[in-house]
A and B are shown apart, each in its own frame.
Chain A
Amino acid sequence: DQQVKQNSPSLSVQEGRISILNCDYTNSMFDYFLWYKKYPAEGPTFLISISSIKDKNEDGRFTVFLNKSAKHLSLHIVPSQPGDSAVYFCAASGTISNFGNEKLTFGTGTRLTIIP
């Protein structure tokens, strides 16, 4: 049962344009949502997160939007740069404890290619 889904395995975008990566989830108990970026032969790198009480969070070129009623989130990258070419994973976490030992459930990933 895939609770976090990324339905687009790949996406190609021209340099300078906007990249939009999408993610859907089924578990309404998820409280935090994150995006990670992964280069080959490296571990995932944290990009940005959003709490379920918000609908938007922005950090530089990266903005994450959350639509709780649709159980959908998206990552916008603008402008897209060649260094953004990587696999992007959406992840979700339940309510966290004071110990910070929450479980992350990952989506299957979207390979983003930025075309110069």
Chain B
Amino acid sequence: DTEVTQTPKHLVMGMTNKKSLKCEQHMGHRAMYWYKQKAKKPPELMFVYSYEKLSINESVPSRFSPECPNSSLLNLHLHALQPEDSALYLCASSLHYRGTYQPQHFGDGTRLSIL
């Protein structure tokens, strides 16, 4: 069982819709991440939040808008997406550094399809 919970598991939306992806963890992790994974490709980092503040934005288009309302919750707001945005969106979290490497733990992802 994954300790990072993502909802919904599947989402189909039109190009004019607005929707949100949700990610939740209760492990006390203070860094949270959004990744995008296309078929037969590795996950690619989109955003990193550290202590609820955006610390890394990998030049993601503004039609993707992340939000971290509190230390347990991470949202990704979607608006006016394109068909090429169809992918698996993965959320991850990690502890802050404690003298030893703390790996990222992933949710099972949201499979997004843009019509």
Contact = CB atoms under 8 A, between A and B. Distances in A.
Interface of A: 4, 32, 34, 36, 41-46, 49, 51, 89, 93, 96-109
A44 B90 contact: yes
A106 B42 contact: yes
Contact of A100 (B43, B94, B107): B94
Contact of A32 (B6, B41, B55, B101): B101
B97 A96 contact: yes
Nearest to A96: B97
B22 to A, nearest CB: 15
B11 to A, nearest CB: 15
**Size class of the B contact interface (CB-based, 8 Å):** 20 to 34
Interface string B42-58: 11110011110001101
Contacts of B90: 43-44
11 contacts: A42-B2, A42-B109, A43-B6, A43-B107, A93-B101, A97-B97, A99-B55, A99-B97, A104-B104, A106-B42, A108-B42
Given A43-B6, A103-B45, A106-B43, 18 more contacts: A4-B42, A43-B108, A49-B101, A96-B101, A97-B97, A99-B51, A99-B55, A100-B29, A100-B31, A100-B94, A101-B49, A101-B55, A102-B94, A103-B48, A105-B45, A106-B44, A107-B42, A108-B42
Nearest to B103: A46
B4 interface: yes
A96 B103 CA distance: 11
Contact of B108 (A4, A41, A97, A100): A41
Nearest to B101: A32
Nearest to A101: B50
Contacts of B79: none
A101 B43 contact: no
Given A101-B50, A109-B42, A46 B97 contact: no
A100 B106 contact: no
A99 B98 CA distance: 9
B77 interface: no
A98 B98 CA distance: 7
A102 to B, nearest CB: 8
